[in-house]
Amino acid sequence: DGAKEGAKKEGGEVDEQELAAHHMPDLIEQNKPMFKPGESGGSAAEATPAAAGKDAKAASGDGAAVASSASSSTAQSTADTAVQQVKEDAAKAKPTLSGSKDKKDDTVYYDCFDLKIVYERNRTGFEETKDYPIEINGVIAGRYQILEFLGAAAFSKAVQCVDLTDGSYVCIKIIKNNKDFFDQSLDEIKILKYMNAHDTRDEHHLLQLYDYFYFKEHLFIVTELLRDNLYEFSKFNRESGAECYFTLPRLQKIMKECLRGLKFVHKLGLIHCDLKPENVLIRSYSRCEIKIIDFGSSCFVTDHLTSYVQSRSYRAPEVILGLSYDHQMDMWSLGCILAELWTGRVLFQNDSLATLLARVVGILGEIDEDMMNRGRYTHRFFTKNKIIYDRLADDERSLVYILPKKTTLKHRLGTDDELFIDFVEKLLRVDPAKRSSAATALEHPWLSKQY
């Protein structure tokens, strides 16, 4: 009762859900979504820096809250005091109507979610090797039976499994036993939970997260099972000699679904940061449906942004030159993907960032002088006379000038379809301020053209 009194708002009732979510996460229903649709920050706990340092503790396990005192009455008293103190500190941090309009709100919001840790009974989690062994028909954590090895990436392996509890097929990403990979994957879980909670009907062509847990020194992420990625399927389609799958009508549908997904992601304040054909998977071949995956490199626009983002062939000019960037970088990557699916070739073929910039200049024209002047890394690729240069791989002291080969986007696309060319050109505007956003691209007439 004391805790409830501490959680009462002036003139209002006790918000027991908020109280529990903030101070006793172990008592909350385990499968309750972390975020609620319609809330800007999700089901975030609110606290000031002062409150964050208070000694209110909660521990998950058998569902029992553990306090520092051995006495349950002392523990309850400590929790009641902490709850009241957090409420008072948070109230103090809120801006007052009588204060200046420019007064800064220093309130800090926190999101939290539980990580399930699975052990084999009467065993510790210690493993002799760093790699999780992939054994066909082996069972992960007593629940997921491995059916097929799907592939490997820089910091993970993917397997197709059947969930023994209901017979459904899933994809499991097994994260390599490495602290940095683990941290990055926790970010991906947070972002997937955030997006899925706002996309409860699964309408925005984004990967669905089913489960995640820690087992035998590895983090496992369980998602829906999809088909080939666009890169692998495009390669197979060309090499098999079959009829071309990526016709303009199908590319229209793929672009519509990608744009709807990106529009949704960007509206949530997120940037994908690594769009490429490998990260767009086919959901249905016959209906030409896709989903965007791999949010391991994604970030919020409010994050401290790094310049090491995007796979090189799909990296936007503003990122390469060291300018500030936002969701428009995803639109550049999408333009590169579209051109590649249509022609079967990487649009800006390169073996370094300097040669990539030379391709961009050769196909799209000179980079705006203002962008060049503002770029923190412009000097790494351009001389004072704006000539592109590169360093020789076998001799860092030797420089070579690169003269861009002049051509046109129309020539590279190999088509006379003016609406299609215009659509691609607007996605590939070098200046991100002039580039189509996901919302404006969805209104482009090419997407509604009948073929």
Q: Which residues are catalytic?
A: 274
Query: Residue 408 corresponds to which tokens in the numbers above?
Result: 């046109």
Helix, strand, coil percentages, rounded to 5, for the chain: 35, 20, 45
Give the number of other CB atoms < 10 A from CB of residue 3.
Answer: 20
Q: Buried b / exposed e across 413-442, counting CB within 10 Å, b at 16+?
A: beeebeebbebbbbbbbbebeebbbbeebe
Residues 332, 435: contact at Cβ < 8 Å? yes
Task: Look up residue 61 and give its amino acid.
Answer: G
| 358 Ramachandran zone, left/alpha/beta (phi>0; psi -120 to 50) | alpha
Looking up tokens 């409010």 gives 302
Distances in Å between the alpha carbon of 155 and those of 103, 179, 184, 238, 309? Answer: 44, 11, 10, 29, 16
Residue 269, classed as helix, strand or coil, is coil
Half-sphere exposure of 198 (CA within 13 A, CB side): 21
Give the number of other CB atoms < 10 A from CB of residue 138.
Answer: 12
Cα 85 to Cα 411: distance, rounded to the nearest angstrom: 67
